[in-house]
A = this chain, B = another copy of it.
Amino acid sequence: MVVDELTEESVDHLFHALSDSTRRDILRRCAEEDRSVSRLADAYPMSFAGVQKHVAVLERAGLVTKERRGREQLVHTEPDAMDRVRQVLEELERTWRGRAERMSDLLAGRPRPRNTD
């Protein structure tokens, strides 16, 4: 099942990871086929270490995982993570439509805000 908590912080990480076009592109490339970090790095106009950091952000968000393969580190996407993103989005959209205001609280657990309503 890998329900995987889905805390506010993890949702922060998920959306933050998706908020950069280079990282979204890394996701697309790795979805097509697993790639090593240095192979990925060849595709962008930045240093190897720079790409390494982007991969680390995607990793923290749980969107990709790395797997040793010889001296390379293969990056591959984690389908479950995408499900989590969609789940949050759907929850948000339900409230959007004005329905299931209660579900909102159950699914996402109101963040820090003290409800001064």
Which residue numbers of A lie inside 8 Å of B, CB to CB? Answer: 8-9, 11-16, 18-22, 24-25, 27-28, 31-32, 42-45, 77, 79, 82, 85-86, 89, 92-93, 95-98, 101, 104, 108, 110-117
Contact B15 A19 (CB under 8 A): yes
Contact A21 B8 (CB under 8 A): yes
A-B contact pairs, 18 of them (CB 8 A): A8-B21, A14-B19, A15-B15, A15-B16, A22-B113, A25-B111, A27-B92, A27-B95, A31-B92, A31-B95, A32-B101, A42-B116, A43-B114, A44-B113, A45-B113, A77-B96, A86-B89, A86-B93
Contacts of A98 in B (CB 8 A): 31-32
Output the least CB separation between A10 and chain B (Å): 11
C-alpha gap A43/B117 in the complex (Å): 7
Contact B110 A25 (CB under 8 A): yes
Output the least CB separation between A59 and chain B (Å): 16
